[in-house]
Amino acid sequence: MASTAGLNQREAAARRSLWHREKQQLRRAGRLTDSIQALVTGAVTQEVIKRGWKRTWPDIPHQAYGRWPGSPEGAWPEALTVDLPADLVQAVRAACWHTCRKEIGLLYGWRERHPDARPRCPTRPGCDAAALAEYQELAAKVITPGEVWRAAVARGIHDASPRDSPARERRRRHRH
């Protein structure tokens, strides 16, 4: 990035604006990880690409904003709050929903057939072994946004982990 020295105020502002756009693009691509937000944003983008979801998705129904059927119980021991770009969040939600809508529909049907069942509490009445097995089989096919967020965080951490450069590795071997 070139300096703004010697530029008038308008030219300097234009240059800073260009830098800002370039940094945002690098962060979104996962090539600039100067904050946890940048690390996760880039990793979510890479996760979307890896899953073949980089396209325009239809809108999602209202029920896609709550806890999904088939969502596993549990969470990470620590909360991680990241302000992701709204379009990226919507893309992940839509991709998850539309990729798994058949299974989600079948899980809603399962709940209608087993209104007293609580799959996360299999010892409670209303959930016999066969019904629980059917639920678990369907639930295993649902990709939730939470799964994508967790995979992206793991990807971002892995990708950002320091690695020895070939030159540093040669120097380390030479010393020993």
Domain limits, the chain? 9-66+83-158
Q: What is the pLDDT of residues 71-120, one digit of tens each?
A: 776 666 677 788 899 999 999 999 999 999 999 999 999 989 988 888 77
d(CA 27, CA 116) in angstroms, rounded, equals: 47
Residues of the chain with pLDDT under 50: none
Predicted local distance difference test score (pLDDT) of residue 33:
66
- What is the token pair recorded at 97? 């929903």
pLDDT given for residue 126 in this prediction: 73
Measured CA angle at 79 (ends 135, 63), to 5 deg = 40
Pair 104, 63: CB distance under 8 Å:
no
| Region of residue 75 (phi > 0: left; psi between -120 and 50: alpha; otherwise: beta) | beta
Count of helices and strands (H, E) across the chain = 7, 0
Report the alpha-carbon distance of residue 77 to residue 111 in Å, rounded.
29
User: Two tokens at 46?
Assistant: 């890479």
pLDDT at residue 73 in the model: 66
How much is the pTM? 0.73
Q: In degrees rounded to 5, what are phi and psi of residue 137? A: -65, -45
